[in-house]
Structure 1
């Protein structure tokens, strides 16, 4: 208000500038105009009219335009959006994403909200595509034909599309409103320029003229943005009309200097702020702030001619340093983009390799999940990359999403299998608990070991349930084996005692001296065998040696009996043969007896060969097998019988020869 009051002077109060001063101003303006480099004027200034300090301001616009229209747009388009939100979106479930999408779509469709809605919608489309692919796979797995598969649009798809279309329509409406507003602002500013021009055509300049001029300038500053293509021309026209107003009214030096002074103070503040920006570590932020300073520079009018170059050079120097630093920063960013892109491509290759791997076990999924999360971290750290290459993020996160969808499907399948396996292990627990009180130590031991093997073959079981079931199963096993250990400890002591008893019996058999007849001796030996069979088990390492000693002791006595009986039998058999020989038909009876013995010899030999063949099927480790031992005994018996029969045949042959000799001798005696 004070500034406006200072400016509100009547035409009578203003000293009129001389023609010489006007000519001097025009000459100075013309000289300054010629010093401007690379300035393109859209709104031309009539010949002879003053440009004042607009030359420096046009240079500002030219410098700014060189950077903003080329490198600024490139920088804004090159840098990819941060990946934190993108990563969190890819790991969300479908329902969660739908809820987030509905919420975000209600916000104004500008800035971050527009990017977030776009990212969420793309993530939803990817998940819907994966669901559609799964439907197609199920269709093919059920015997369907690929060309006949028709995906039915679900209500949620239609809802999401309607929400997105409504959001985009709101955005288009907002952009249209903003464009309309900029056009309105353009028309209003052109009207202000026209009104300022009208002020220069008044015949008399009064104090209220300056009030009106200041109101128009204030209104100009309060009006918002205009279309970018019109901004430069509009500002040139505005500056020209302001200067024309000053030249027209031949504002006295004191009033003009006051305005110049205020403009100088404002532009000095802008210079100081620009110089502060030279130390700003965030060059992108510094560059954006510098753009705002350039926009504010245009809001202020000219300064004293002797200060115009100085203040502009100061502002231009700070701007140049910031612009150069920003250019260098952009170049470094491009190198960083290339490096990060190379890293991300390698990560994508590694992710593709992981996607091709087959994972059949939960441990494989856990291991691969750790690798995927490590790749996600490395992918996130390889930031930023050029926005033109941001599709590599879509590829990577799409694979991550597919991987986690596969794992969720695997987990769902495993949950069903795990439930079934819990029931199987519960059944094994019941079986183990039913056997834990058994006293059939060896049989039960084998059954429990078989249960352990079956337990190992059962697949995935939920960890908590598996731990509880294992503790239950192990408790039943431990209970049985502890009882078995205690029983075997007592049994071992009993076996040692049995061993002592058997050793005493063996000593008794070995010391036995038969004095009775053969029948009594046999009864005595059978008694020894009965006592041996009634004795309990002995340590396994001593079992065979004890039995061998006992059998040898018995065999000694039985061999003695067999020898005695053999002699008695042989004497009786010879008497039998002599009796046959004395019969009138004696020779015929002896031949018949020999045939009978020969047939018996053949039968015994055949039986012996059969048993020996059977013995060949036993292995070396079967020597303690009771069946094999009995077979050995049978073979030995048959061998003894064969020897006995052969002796019988030999005796018969001897008696037949004797009979013939006796007959032949008797016949010869009668002839004599």
Structure 2
């Protein structure tokens, strides 16, 4: 005895209170992170403002000192200082402009699922590029929250549909939510730690620069400063290698540094010649950078060329001043090389936009294809599954299509995924209706279980046996029940039937003699089948029918005689394959399959499954025939309609033949 496999949706369990507390804690942590991030950004903006202000003050201060110079040589020295600082400032401003307008473009995360977003934030949480990490988080956090909110709403709707109260609902995080939150927190912690360390480093830099200022004062105040010239150069190099200092001290520190250097240079006229030599070396170094920048315009990898160019700008800015006559031509050459790279980047972005527009058109076409799926409806699981496979194939096509323009990404992704989710919402409603039907089947089988239990202790052997057999037939006719009750309800029914038939065997000792006679009769049939002439299918069927009509055998011999019978039929098939038609061979093979099932464990259960499969196929074919016949009524009289009618008539004829064959198979199964 058994029943068919079925599918059902298990009701969701209520979420525990600790998940609510966890979400509250996460919210508090996120609030603290936002505050810390705002503080860090304010510090960075203040630093940048101070640097720019220092550069402007530096130019003005040097210009004033230049006007006050009395001699031609001093004026020339001061002019070179102004040019040096202006060149550094221009390079720095140019570099900042480049950084602002050539930020790395991020991927389009709008079509990423939860697992992909978790992998993205996992990579970000281990990155040291916190500025880029913040940009990525600003992109993916709202997307992840949107997915989570949708899941939460779906869970709440199901919770309310199952009879729950909204106040009792608590959303339980799955593994992906926990991993996303953990990596999000890790990134914020590392970022906060980074900026704390940066502040600490700035304090240390302040101390180092103050120490350099003290050394400069000592050198400037010395009577003989010629011996300190190399030391001054070393201190300048050391000063350049030291990073940023706290914003409030930056301007004063920079002014003191330049004032001490000016005092030193003013005291020694030999500085001019040394500075000229230094400027020539700087010229050679910057010419090399120009060559490198010009070579970048030939690179195929445009984004990589832009990145390398930014590095060259950084190096160009820190090399130092060049001779005045070479300053403008040099800068124009370096700028021209930079403009060539940026022009290529512009073309690259224009081409990328064209590709994105093409992708947009492709994705719009994919969305149009989904229209039929929104109105699809059926009462058959097979058809729903077929449509699901088609839709998943469309999803793969969508995901393989590249990025679209950023301004269209959100709307078009929303359109696609809304349609996608709507189809599965319709499918979910279908299975809800299916679950309702299975609940009805469960109630029907419970009635049969109660009646079987009432009969299990009866001693009216023949009458009760006939009644239980009818109950078993009714059981087979009832459809599937919810999956979680399938085994338990079947075991209850089978236990009641087994109890009666066990008692019947134990209470009828006279039947043992009949069982032994039945065993001998079945053994004789098995022996006759082994001697049967190849291809004599009619005699085989007669033996099989006779074998099935023979009553019970001793319990200890049930399995053995079934196995012998199965082996005998299999042997007949092997020697008769060349002498039977396909239909005959299929019929014999079915019998062999059934006898093999009978000889194995869980025979009743497997036979019921086989019977159900045949019945379902017959039902599907009958439904198809009804549909085809209905369609025939709508065809008008025409040559095209006649051809279609012939096609439908042929389909109906073939289906009826298959039904006839399946009914024969069903009779064979039920006879077993």
TM-score between the two structures when normalised by the length of structure 1? 0.45
TM-score between the two structures when normalised by the length of structure 2? 0.45
Larger radius of gyration: 1
